[in-house]
Structure 1
């Protein structure tokens, strides 16, 4: 019998099938990696995903909700997050993003996750992307 850990792909019902060969999240043993999540609203069959709004706040909150859905699908929560990577399209959004981030994570009981923020180009209309690394148990 092999003691190899099973790798499980995670796709919550709220998410569309990825446009390429990747998973929204993957759990192997007690490690869970959430792929980059943007501010797309819940999946609607037959419709292409679209941003929830033009502003940073609504897109950030939706990206967090999308990441959280994958964490839950894999048996984790934000308390299990050890690393959060943030990708912003505009350096001018950094202060506003920090305000949103601090509000969102204000209720965490454990030490906050480590975080890296970088500036990137994203598809038209998208302002923020977030990925998460969580360790369970």
Structure 2
């Protein structure tokens, strides 16, 4: 199965990994944080602000792949601080008010200054 790298200048990137990869009708979005690409800085200090921006970045990457949030089948979330779980859920529910994708949440294993959340996702398209 051929593999296609998805890249957009509208979301955070790194030379160490692809923003997303398409394999067949699956799109795998790499762990994405709450950096606002227009400023190059974190969207804010709260879990809600960073969750909002991380999901917006995922949406932007999916759009570059010709997909969208409605195609998501699974989301993986890594939180730096377990006590942010309720605040994360508060913002997450705004994005997925019904029929949300499958999800897991775990503790972020590395300490990155100011980073409260990393979100990765898998989408399936027709």
TM-score by length of 2: 0.91
How much is the aligned-residue C-alpha RMSD, in angstroms?
A: 1.6
Deviations 1:36-94 (A, max 9, x none): 000111156xxxx4212111111111100110011111111111111000000111111
Tell me how far apart the structure 2 counterparts of residues 52 and 103 of structure 1 sit (CA, whole Å): 17
Q: What count of residue pairs does the alignment treat as equivalent?
A: 125
Equivalent position of 1:123 in the other structure: 112
Equivalent position of 2:50 in the other structure: 59
**Structure 2: where are the runs of 5+ without partners?**
none
Which protein is bigger by CA-based radius of gyration? 1
Shift of 1:19: 3.7
Q: Contact 2:2–2:23 (CA<8 Å) still a contact in 1?
A: yes
Tell me how far apart the structure 2 counterparts of residues 122 and 11 of structure 1 sit (CA, whole Å): 26
Which structure's residues are more often strand, by fraction? Answer: 2
**Structure 1: where are the runs of 5+ without partners?**
none
Equivalent position of 1:41 in the other structure: 36
Tell me how far apart the structure 2 counterparts of residues 52 and 63 of structure 1 sit (CA, whole Å): 9
1:88 equivalent to 2:79? Answer yes
Structure 1 residues 16 and 85, CA gap change in structure 2 (3 angstroms): closer
1:29 equivalent to 2:20? Answer no
Equivalent position of 1:11 in the other structure: 7
Q: Contact 1:39–1:52 (CA<8 Å) still a contact in 2?
A: yes
Greater than 6 Å deviation, 4+ residue runs? none
Tell me how far apart the structure 2 counterparts of residues 25 and 92 of structure 1 sit (CA, whole Å): 29
Equivalent position of 2:101 in the other structure: 113
SS of 1:65 mapped into structure 2: helix
Q: Contact 1:8–1:26 (CA<8 Å) still a contact in 2?
A: yes
